[in-house]
Amino acid sequence: MPGTPLSDLRVLLRAEGTAVLVEIAGGLPAILHWGSDLGPLTAADAAGIAAAVEPGRFNNAVDAPSRLAVLPQLHAAWTGRPGISGSRHGRDWSPKFTSVAATLDGTPLAIRQDQGPEFVTSGAASLVVDAVDEVARLAIRIWIELRPGGVVRMRAELTNTATGDEADYQLDDLVLAYPLPSVAREILDFAGRWGKERTPQRLDLVVGTHLREGRHGRTGADAATVLHVGTPGFDFATGEIWGVHTGWSGNHIHYAERSFSGEQVIGGGELLLPGEIVLGSGESYTSPWVYGSHGIGLDQVARRFHRMLRSRTEHVPADRPVTLNVWEAVYFDHSLPKLLQLADAAAALGVERFVLDDGWFGARRNDHAGLGDWTVSKDVWPDGLHPLVDRVTGLGMQFGLWFEPEMVNLDSDIARAHPEWVMATGGRLPLESRHQQVLNLGIEECYASIKGAMSAILDEYDIGYIKWDHNRDLIEAGTQPSGVPGVHAQTLATYRLIDELKAAHPGLEIESCSSGGARIDLGILERTDRVWVSDNIDPLDRQQMNRWTTQLIPPELMGSHIASGRSHTTGRIHDIAFRAATAVFGHLGIEWDLTQATEDERDQLRGWIEFFKAERGLLLRGDLVRIDYPDSSVYANGVVAPDRSRGIFSIASLARSEVNGTGLVRLPGLDPDRHYRVGIVSLDPRLDRFAPAWWSPERPYVDLTGAALASVGLQPPNLPPEQAVLLRVDPLSV
């Protein structure tokens, strides 16, 4: 690595309304601006911005303040959360890095010191900066990338360059930070629990640190997901907002901090357990990506994430197959005749994928035994899975299968043969959860055993889809016999296992399920094809969970199923119209014993499946629109085609309002200059008396311009609680 200091370099990245201006002035890179596009700046313009944001001098502060780097450093008198914490047996705990090289999309950036500061501009690109501290014997590489959609992401790789005795460096923390302007003073992130993931919460950003630590060993049902800070009162359509997401599926951090100096940052990284990362000579640690999205209103912040994900070459297509998962139909009762009957019923309704859930393997007749023994149970399946797989594929559907590769019951062949493969610390097993423990995939022999067993199943059967579950937290997750923490290694091993299975089986899709929605992050979604939002598919609760899960991911990555008439989780009873109108704004599936459905229910279900298939190009590729509506008893949201030609909106009544009519609902996002025809997709005949005045069987539509829909709105159906209708907005030739 070159040793000449790199200084006087400014780089401007611009894409899709976002600008990032980075300065390297000897130390680590600092972000001078991250937010709305600044236009095509000149070198003089960049110099003016650099001068304008120069840190001020205050009484009782350091004499020569420096800019806050993307890895805040103690040596620069930053008294907030440092970017790096660690030491070499108590030494080298406050590094001072000097940048020595930089590239932009792989092209070295040369600095001509005799001509003043160098200024480089680019579109979406990757800036990589190398820096060293020769005294602390550390090197660091930092990536700052502007991605399609206008999302920024950063990560860092720390290398121990020391040699000789006592060279090991224990890394305790590495977090990256984006600067926040002083106008950003209100926080929005998420809480949650099993069955009610992604519950929004707001609070003020005050002096100090708002720290969200995920210590579940997985992302967690209570994960912050996206930590936003914006101008007070921001909502879906208004207010300037900066949001970050840590793309990591193990222990992790999101934080926002306001210093006594008035400086503010927002950032994140991996949460490292004590002694988890000890770098020997020449060894490196790479942080997860920390993503940043800026926008006016929460919808724009979300749409940037969506567009980035949709730009991927491996992103899922819009014509995603309608899925039946049989868990709530049969649970552990794997009767072949019943499953064949379900397959026939599903195919007759237009279902395109059939997924066999937990209970097909080993001694797994309940959740107390067999987990980890990935061989087809001879007791339940004497002919293997072939009779079911052959029927499913013969009916033109894909076959999917449930696995939980990272977990184990102690009552299993694998645990009895290899108790040392169970994660534990301190000479004791962790408390059981769901009657299971965690298999240590960080042990190579354990990893090979699980990969081999899964590969054998995938090689024998025509399987196009895996539901990959993960049903407990990693508590006291150590490697026996030492008990050294193993969450970091386990997370990387899981990524590796998914990558290798998909590479060996082209076309295989994998769903990330983790007690429902406890592993939803951009780390797992780099390699999986959808996530299970929640084990709770009661549509009343799913209205909230689906609404806020799309703050990070687009609908096509979100498993959204039509539930049974009586919810298996909450016990509530809902009409098909409410269940289906909720579920179609995601990757549609069914979680219902179809053999118990009436003919009328099947006819309605068939109609909803046909609607979804006809409209999934819009439902799963449209721009997200969530409507700010003052009556909390109503949710209104939808999708609009990228060219603004069409839209589908949902009006959902969640509870009884204190007034008879909740008022006009505006439908934003369409072309203000176009004329549209708005009709009701589904209105249960029993609800005719709740129809709006503009609707009648003879004229079931109203014609309005996009400007009128956005500014005037229309009267929605006056629905009773726990009902929903869809409004289809089509272009009208005039």
Active site residues: 469, 535
Determine the distance from the C-alpha atom of residue 444 to the mean position of all C-alpha atoms in its chain, rounded to a whole number. 29
In DSSP notation, 94-123 reads S---EEEEEEETTEE----GGG--EEEEES
Which residues touch 379 (CB under 8 Å, ≥6 apart)? none
In DSSP notation, 512-571 reads E-BTTBS--STTGGGT-SEEE--S---HHHHHHHHHHHTTTS-GGGEEEEEEPSB-TTT-
CA distance 265 to 256: 6
- 509-512/530-532 β-pairing: parallel
Q: Which two tokens stand for residue 21?
A: 């201006």
User: Which residue from 597, 594, 519, 523 is spatially nearest to 559, judged by alpha carbons?
Assistant: 519
**Residue 44 CB neighbour total at 10 angstroms:** 8
CA distance 515 to 548: 18
Per DSSP, 283 falls in state -
Provide the total of helices (H) and of strands (E) in the chain, helices listed first: 12, 39
For 176, half-sphere exposure in the C-beta direction (CA atoms, 13 angstrom radius) is: 31
SS3 category, 55 = coil
C-alpha distances out from residue 288 to 95, 155, 499, 517, 549, Å = 21, 6, 17, 20, 21
CA distance 501 to 12: 40
- Per-position b or e across 165-188, b if 16+ CB within 10 A of its CB: eebebbbbbbbbbbbbeeebbbbb
